[in-house]
Amino acid sequence: MERTFLMVKPDGIQRGLIGKIISRMEDKGFKMIAGKLMFVSEELAKVHYQEHEGKPFFEKLVNFITSGPVFAMVWEGDDIIALSRNLIGKTNPSEAMPGTIRGDFASHATFNLIHGSDSKASADREIGIYFTPEQLLSYDKSISPWI
Ligand code: RTP
Ligand code: MG
């Protein structure tokens, strides 16, 4: 069972899309094991997005992520890192297909509603900077063996 870090970004909170975004993940059969509404500090934003430091959009990205509350989550499921990235859709709005979260609800390269870890190493790192091990819940969700 794989885990990933997902985060509804400030535009998703402002636009009232938390529920719809969570529904997409629930509909796929994934299980939320942690979640919190929180502000991201400038320091945390820079740690989270450290791979993008120096890129032209970095300052805009940090300003955006710190502009209002986010909903940070950990989700669990088979192959969830790749599958949730498919549900999220591409970063470039012209490549984000209808049916994906970004394809259906976003039209901007930076203000794109949701973050999802892009690899096992990123997921482990990001889960570790937003949550303590005790905050990751263990419980049964009876969808097996259907999904
Ligand atoms: P994320 O990390 O947030 O899940 O998004 P991603 O993998 O699809 O995209 P990534 O390349 O990691 O970029 C991180 C976030 O930076 C903002 N961005 N703005 N050209 C731009 O203005 C631009 N490019 C990237 C987006 O918020 C993107 O999700
Ligand atoms: Mg990324």
In a domain, 110, yes or no: yes
For the segment 22-49, the average pLDDT, to the nearest whole number, is 98
Strand order in the sheet with 70-77: 31-38, 70-77, 2-8, 114-116
| Structural domains in the chain (count) | 1
In a domain, 146, yes or no: no
In a domain, 93, yes or no: yes
Q: What number does the ligand 1 atom closest to the CA of 51 have?
A: 12
Residue 39 annotated as binding site: no
The one catalytic residue in 48, 52, 108, 115 is 115
pLDDT at 146: 75
Task: Give the ligand with the smallest distance to the CA of 65.
Answer: 1
CATH of the domain at 44: 3.30.70.141
- Helix (H) / strand (E) element for 88: namely helix 80-88
Alpha-carbon distance 89 to 130, whole Å?
23
Q: Which of 82, 48, 51, 87 is nearest to 65 (CA)?
A: 48
In a domain, 23, yes or no: yes
State both tokens at 47: 């740690």
- Global pTM reads 0.96
- pLDDT tens, 46-64? 999 999 999 999 999 999 9
Query: Average model confidence (pLDDT) for the chain?
Result: 96
ipTM above 0.90, yes or no: yes
**Angle at which helices 80-88 and 18-28 cross, to 10°:** 130
In a domain, 140, yes or no: no
pLDDT at 44: 98
Beta bridge partners of 35: 73
State both tokens at 35: 């979640």
115 is catalytic: yes
Rg, the chain, Cα only:
15
For the segment 67-86, the average pLDDT, to the nearest whole number, is 98
Span from the CA of 49 to the centroid of ligand 2 (angstroms)? 8
In a domain, 143, yes or no: no
Domain that holds residue 14: 2-135
State both tokens at 126: 């990001």
